[in-house]
Structure 1
Amino acid sequence: MMELTATQAFWLGHLFHASSRQMALGECADEQNLALAELLAWEQRLVVQRVPTPPRHLPARFIAVEVCR
């Protein structure tokens, strides 16, 4: 297993926090007072560095509705 730098661990921790709480990254960034662009950039940087990242939670885009007649 590779050793993470403090900066890598910081951003990876936020990514795991969002994943474990099933939060969208935008919601997590707002909650943690982070810039979403920076969180996304670090997610991509970690992937390029072959650091295992958690799966991203993608909220449902549509909801089921029932039509009554």
Structure 2
Amino acid sequence: MTDLTSTQAFWLGHLFHASSRQLALSEYAVEQRLDLAALMTWEKRLAVQGVVVPPRHRPARFVAVEVVR
């Protein structure tokens, strides 16, 4: 697929922007006032249509902590 519709380009642009800024989609959606479910739906839809979708930034959920006594 080479030509994107304006809607596909809109969502793909947001996905690339979130990825390049290393933001979780949930954080990016709040910041940009986007519907998170729509953003995730378009991420999946574009991938199924054969469009290269950028990798998600997934922040670490656990942080290693060293206890010093």
TM-score higher than 0.5 = yes
Aligned to 2:49: 49
CA RMSD of aligned residues (A): 0.9
Aligned to 1:11: 11
Identity within the alignment, %: 71
For this pair of structures, how many residues does the alignment match? Answer: 69
**What is the identity, as a one-letter code, of the residue corresponding to 1:65?**
V
Aligned to 1:65: 65
**What is the identity, as a one-letter code, of the residue corresponding to 2:30?**
D
TM normalised by structure 2 equals: 0.95
Gaps of 5+ in 1: none
Runs of 4+ in 1 over 6 A off after TM superposition: none
**What is the identity, as a one-letter code, of the residue corresponding to 1:46?**
L
